[in-house]
Amino acid sequence: MKPSCPSCQTPFVPGAQTCGACGAALLIAPTPGSAEPVCAVHPQWRSVGTCPRCGAFACASCLRQGPEGVVCATCLEREPLGLLPWDQREELGTLKAFWKTCVGMLMQPTKTLQGINPDASVGSSLGFVFLSTVSGFLTTGLVYTALMGVIMGLVPEAAGAQAAEGAPSPQSMKLWMTVGMAVWTVVTPFFGVGMSLVHAGLEHLILRMGGVEKGFSVTLRAYALSQAPYIVGLIPFVAVYAAPFWAMGLRVVTYRSLHRTSWGAAGAGALLVPVLSCCLCGGGYAAIMFMAFKGMTGGEG
């Protein structure tokens, strides 16, 4: 995002000292005793923006146009932003880039996130979520489908003749249960992408309340990268039980790194929504069980 003139709100060229639209000076002294942010390098001038890379306040003369957008002059002189393997899909290939990113996030998350561009397109983040969900549930779904077919295949054919009138036959049960598992395997990745959007949106609201200023696309990128543990789902049944907790902890790291916020704000953003969801779902389940038990005991009386 380009900085804008304090007088006319027109974007100006980074590094300029006067507005090209209205001619007003862009180097403005802060009001004495005010809480106006001032430049980290030139405290005699008001800040007109923050550097998206280091978070420092910068005056108009300190801003520069860099490869990743408008940054402060200090950051422009540093090494360019690092790239995740996922950001190098054209060179590496999508699957290789996904694999290398997952390995980096699992083995050295802090080092992998260091110096990368915190922002990315929504499509890039959702693509990573989709592959993570496929990795987490495809193998397990295929195994479940195969097991369902084997188990239902053991049902004696004669049981169909002994079934109560109107009850489904073992053959139809086998067919529908196997088809149901296959459909669940196919639909789960798309459902995972939708739920990731919802959860990332809710967690972004909490992060905003915690003081972060970067946009939703940064939160979505952090959320997507935290789904890397689902790669262990290539081993059947592992991701279903272990990956959600692993991803939740990793999300604290990704939120802190990409939003450059405190551990407390990152932890609240990553943990509050899952904890509240568990409480609501658990409370609802307990209420249903209580009502069912009450109905059964009431009927016996």
Range(s) of the domain holding residue 224:
85-156+168-300
d(CA 225, CA 222): 5
In the chain, the number of structural domains is: 2
69 and 92 inside one domain: no
Q: Are 121 and 217 in contact (CB under 8 A)?
A: yes
Domain presence at residue 13: yes
Phi/psi for 164 (5° steps) reads -65, 155
Task: Please check whether residues 76 and 89 belong to one and the same domain.
Answer: no
Q: What is the pTM of this model?
A: 0.64
Whether residue 162 lies inside any domain: the answer is no
- DSSP lists the bridge partners of residue 116 as 82
Q: Select from 80, 109, 143 the last residue of a domain.
A: 80
| Per-residue tens of pLDDT for the chain, all 301 residues | 578 888 888 888 888 888 888 988 888 898 888 888 999 899 999 998 888 777 788 998 888 887 667 888 888 776 556 678 999 999 999 999 999 999 999 999 988 988 788 888 999 999 999 999 888 887 877 777 777 666 666 655 544 444 555 555 656 666 666 677 667 667 888 888 999 999 999 999 999 998 888 899 999 999 999 999 999 888 877 767 788 889 999 999 999 989 988 899 999 999 998 888 777 765 655 666 666 566 556 544 4
Predicted pLDDT of residue 217: 93
Same domain, 76 and 175: no
| pLDDT score for 278 | 73
Considering the domain boundaries, does residue 163 fall inside one?
no
Q: Are 181 and 141 in contact (CB under 8 A)?
A: yes
Among 80, 106, 124, where does a domain finish?
80
For residues 199 and 261, membership in a common domain is answered with yes
Q: Which residues contact 229 (CB under 8 A, 6 or more apart)?
A: 105, 106, 239, 242, 243, 246, 247, 250
- Provide the pairing of β-strand 57-58 with 63-66: unpaired
Task: Indicate whether 110 and 219 sit together in one domain.
Answer: yes
Regarding whether 114 and 263 lie in a shared domain, the answer is: yes
Question: Which of 18, 47, 80 is where one domain is finished?
Answer: 80
Do 211 and 66 share a structural domain? no
Q: Are 62 and 146 found together in one domain?
A: no
Domain for residue 15, yes or no? yes
pLDDT (0 to 100) of residue 299:
47
Residues 129 and 101 grouped into a single domain: yes
| 126 shares a domain with 12 | no
Task: List the Cα angle 115/131/268 in 5-degree steps.
Answer: 55
